[in-house]
Structure 1
Amino acid sequence: MKTNARIRKMLGRDLLAELEHHLHPLDCQTCGGPFRGREPTLAVHSEGELTTVALHHRKCLKPGCYGPLQTSLHKSWRCSALLLEEQSPVFFVVNPSCETVQIETTGNGWRITSLDMYWNSGLSATLVPSVMPPETLIATLDGKRLTVTFTPVGTSLPFTWAVGGLGERTMKAIDSYATIAVVVTTALNGGPVRGLRDVTEPIAKGWAASGMARVHFTPETQRLRFTDFDPNTIADLFGVLKGIIKNRLGVELEDRPALAAFATCDGKYDMLPLLSGMDRYLSMLLVASVYAPSKTKGTPGEGVHIVMPDQEVDTVVKMFQTVFADLDGFATGRLPDDYATADIAIGTLDQYNACPTGRGRLLITDRVTVTAEQRAPYRRVVDI
């Protein structure tokens, strides 16, 4: 970076050396054009107590000290989403400001303050972050595109970053955990993150802020699909349940509800709404059984939730409990009391609204309407 004597005296050798790790010449902060390998000039911009260090083309601005930066429209951000290890959440690593850094005087020197906003909003300086409230940090999966939105505490102005073209393994991990680890660092140089060291090193040096973000899913992403479970596995499960239903309920599972459930598991939702009575309930039971985990045991966000008309809830709960009565560790219950402990929990719209949070593997709504905000945290949704 091109400097001059005034900047070197003002900032000092230590800060200038540190800035080499935090300033990355992508686009000029005067004209917005790319550097294309040309050496940038470094300028210090001051406005009251706010001091910003920025990179410019040499022809656009000479090294020196100036008033406030004229625009933030040229500021670049770069992000990567990657699965660093098997059996771990996806990491979303973002540099929110490649060519600018905020600094403040400490009385005997300077410190970089670009990450203060994130730390002050609850993000952690360690690699063991907590889950952030969605009003501060939230992720949205839309097909193969992952978007992260950060809203600093005390403001209503969000920052949004996105990465597309996610691989199947990465998408499956996002779907499985329904949370991602977000790492914000100005030490990311604009290239792709290639391994765990690119994440842990900035954190170890105090150059990163991290937090876990819950994932919201768009309606198209929430459609059931055969890539969730092998169709042969689903057919085998339905065959087993057919015998259990005959034994416990004394009724035959006819082809029509079975075919409707099978089609629903492939994202074709037009058959199930045509059913009524016992056929409708049995078809919902088959779909729910595919997605229900076993032994949820108090893990919020892992169950299947079914929301339906008031007058039918008692009948359906009793039927489900009868069918699954002797399955070891498998629980069918009611909303809201069994929301966190049941593998399948069933209730009315009012009971569902009383749940602490609407998270789960699958939400089935039967002739009731829930809000978009309630639907978004579910991996899959079926509207009947």
Structure 2
Amino acid sequence: MAGSRFRTDPTTEERLGPQVLEDLRANLWPVDCQTCGRPLGRWGRPALEVQAEDGFAAASLHHRRCSPPAWVDGTVDVSGRRHLTWRAGCFLMQPGNVPTFLINPSYEYALLRQGDAGEWQIATLEPYKELGFQLGLSSKQPLPSPAGVSASIDEGFISVDVRHDGAMLQAWHDVHIPPDIARAAHRWGDIMVAVTTLMDVSKPFTIEGMSVLLGTDRVAVGKARLTSVSYPRAAQQVKPGDNESDHQVEAFAISAESIRRAVDFTVDDRVLAAAFALCDGKAWMIGQLTGRDKMAALLMVSSFCSLGSRDESGEPARCQGVHLITPDTESADEHMDFFSAVAAEGAAGTVGRLGASPLSDEGSAAYLADIVLGTADEYAAAFTAYGDAGPDWDLHASRGHSAIVTDTAKSDLTQAEFLRHYPKAIAIAI
């Protein structure tokens, strides 16, 4: 990890000593002057100013013309950090594909604390420890969830807020998050936040090197609860290969036989071809079908895409399940009759019909089904209710991986707020 070069004065050198100065070189990064806010530049060495008071000190970087190297006793100005640079990025931590938000919150500024023997040491991460973060990952301790830390993902960008006693302490907003990491965070329900000043996060780094760093006390780690998720339309589009599986043919065959037994209907080649095409994101073939032909194809696709709806213990899994959105209640009821009859043969998992109050026992159970049926208004009401109901309803708020909008008058998805929540969505035009 490259260190920062800076100019110091004799008093600072004497009071801090060579080791602390070396630590500062590893933790400070010359981006913007903390006096004027303009870039420090690549070639000149910035000046290190240290303000000290009552056993604490603030070290910051400046243009020499703005603030020459100095040790200043008597005041620590923690309010004048409007020019401070922060940078963040997202990656999947191994092992386990843990979604991680990596942040350097303080490029040109470091907090110092004086020990009982008069020695100084870097203490930039101590405020995060007081907020509930832990220093370094430990296999013996679960990752803490600081109460004031939350995250939201909005169409490819993540924002993390850190609050204490109602006051906003940090707001790291609009950091790019790739779709695979957003989906992983959606499934977990949270994202690991790793805070360090030892890295220039804007530069490439190795996962192996990050793993080593996370095992030290030079990183503060904690979980941020995910309060909301939305996906960009491009990421929601179903593409060939998204639903590829060795079990697809077998799953379709089982569904076709169950349909024959349950409703005395034979799946022909047109229905089968439309189901395969829809799994590849091509909706035009199923759009040409009507009646039980279309319902059979929708059931086959919904049953197959909901195979991962439950975890190993058989409980509903986060960010899983298929939500079928019909144009009206009559259509939803018709699909429910068809789907539930086939589900009774054991080929379609559980099927739920929206309509009851989302927070009632009936409405809650329906929303956790493997395949859910309802109108856009019913889904919107459930989405709002679960989003507003607090952490006890997080599982419900996270449910739904694939949304299928049937018989829509538009060739694309509408801009309904609840539809942005799904990792995958497809519309079937009239």
Please state which band the TM-score falls in when normalised by the shorter chain.
0.7 to 0.9
2: CA distance, partners of 1:120 / 1:340: 39
Q: Secondary structure at the match of 2:335?
A: helix
Q: Secondary structure at the match of 2:235?
A: coil
Which residue of the partner structure matches residue 286 of structure 1? 300
> How much has 1:245 moved relative to structure 2?
1.8
> How much has 1:113 moved relative to structure 2?
5.7
In the TM superposition, what are the counterparts of 1:1-384 in structure 2 within 5 Å? 1-8=6-13, 15-29=20-34, 30=36, 32-33=38-39, 35-36=41-42, 38-44=44-50, 52-58=58-64, 60-65=66-71, 75-85=84-94, 87-103=96-112, 114-115=124-125, 118=128, 123-125=133-135, 127=137, 128-129=142-143, 136-140=150-154, 142=156, 147-153=157-163, 154-155=166-167, 158-160=171-173, 162-163=175-176, 180-190=191-201, 191-202=203-214, 204-212=216-224, 214=226, 216-230=230-244, 234=248, 237-254=251-268, 258-269=272-283, 276-294=290-308, 296=310, 297-298=314-315, 299-308=317-326, 309-327=328-346, 330-335=349-354, 336-338=363-365, 342-347=369-374, 349=378, 352-353=382-383, 354-355=385-386, 356=393, 357-359=396-398, 360-366=400-406, 374-384=418-428
Distance 1:96 1:220, change over 3 A: same
* TM-superposition CA deviations, 1:180-208 (whole Å, max 9, x none): 43312122244333134424535531532
1: CA distance, partners of 2:335 / 2:81: 57
1: CA distance, partners of 2:49 / 2:108: 11
One-letter code aligned to 1:333 = G
One-letter code aligned to 1:43 = E
2: CA distance, partners of 1:75 / 1:90: 26
1: CA distance, partners of 2:407 / 2:266: 25
> How much has 1:352 moved relative to structure 2?
3.1
1: CA distance, partners of 2:427 / 2:144: 33
8 Å CA contact retained: 1:300, 1:341: no
2: CA distance, partners of 1:274 / 1:134: 51
2: CA distance, partners of 1:312 / 1:101: 62
Distance 1:294 1:62, change over 3 A: closer
- Counting aligned pairs with the same residue, the percent is 24
Larger displacement relative to structure 2 (2-11 or 168-177): 168-177
One-letter code aligned to 2:365 = D
- Structure 1 portions without partners, runs of 5+: none
TM-score normalised according to structure 2 size: 0.68
Distance 1:176 1:150, change over 3 A: closer
2: CA distance, partners of 1:171 / 1:295: 18
One-letter code aligned to 1:148 = I
Q: Secondary structure at the match of 2:265?
A: coil
Q: Secondary structure at the match of 1:151?
A: strand
1: CA distance, partners of 2:147 / 2:341: 38
8 Å CA contact retained: 1:295, 1:331: no
Q: Secondary structure at the match of 1:211?
A: strand
* TM-superposition CA deviations, 1:258-301 (whole Å, max 9, x none): 55544433334456566554344333323322321346122333
> How much has 1:19 moved relative to structure 2?
2.8
Distance 1:74 1:32, change over 3 A: farther
Q: Secondary structure at the match of 1:6?
A: helix
> How much has 1:6 moved relative to structure 2?
3.2
> How much has 1:217 moved relative to structure 2?
2.1
* TM-superposition CA deviations, 1:152-188 (whole Å, max 9, x none): 2234673225357x6x986886687675433121222
Q: Secondary structure at the match of 1:186?
A: coil
One-letter code aligned to 1:320 = F
Q: Secondary structure at the match of 2:25?
A: helix
8 Å CA contact retained: 1:300, 1:340: no
> How much has 1:63 moved relative to structure 2?
0.7
Distance 1:362 1:169, change over 3 A: closer
1: CA distance, partners of 2:146 / 2:269: 46
Distance 1:282 1:119, change over 3 A: farther
2: CA distance, partners of 1:133 / 1:292: 34
- Structure 2 portions without partners, runs of 5+: 1-5, 355-362, 387-392
Q: Secondary structure at the match of 2:213?
A: helix
Q: Secondary structure at the match of 2:162?
A: coil
**How many correspondences in the alignment?**
378
Distance 1:216 1:155, change over 3 A: farther
One-letter code aligned to 1:22 = N
Q: Secondary structure at the match of 1:93?
A: strand
8 Å CA contact retained: 2:352, 2:371: yes
